Structure 1
């Protein structure tokens, strides 16, 4: 049986913490900052934990 390949698009978007949680970047944090408040920009800068419902499928894509 062939080896399962890692999904490279997922690798670029998701990171695994030391405790095994999956983290992702918050959306809406790339451009058009002049229209966003400082408070909103700070909030968007934080990484988000991926929901448990999605974790199982993403771990499979990452080969974990």
Structure 2
């Protein structure tokens, strides 16, 4: 059986370790989608995701903040 809690912890650790690369990816996807449907619909979500990546990097190991509501 898959332990989703363990997978989540590994993903959050990865994001915390590579936060700059993850934020660059969020920006590129946000630009691409924003060009298709409008930046006014995407910019807020992009900002919330970037802020969440920042909070993951600030947390001690094993403690994770709640993901942003989008």
> TM-score range, shorter-chain basis?
under 0.3
Higher relative CO (CA 8 A, sep ≥ 6), structure 1 or 2?
1
Q: TM-score, normalised by structure 1?
A: 0.27
Q: TM-score, normalised by structure 2?
A: 0.26
Structure with greater proportional helix content: 2
Structure with greater proportional strand content: 1
Structure with bigger gyration radius? 1
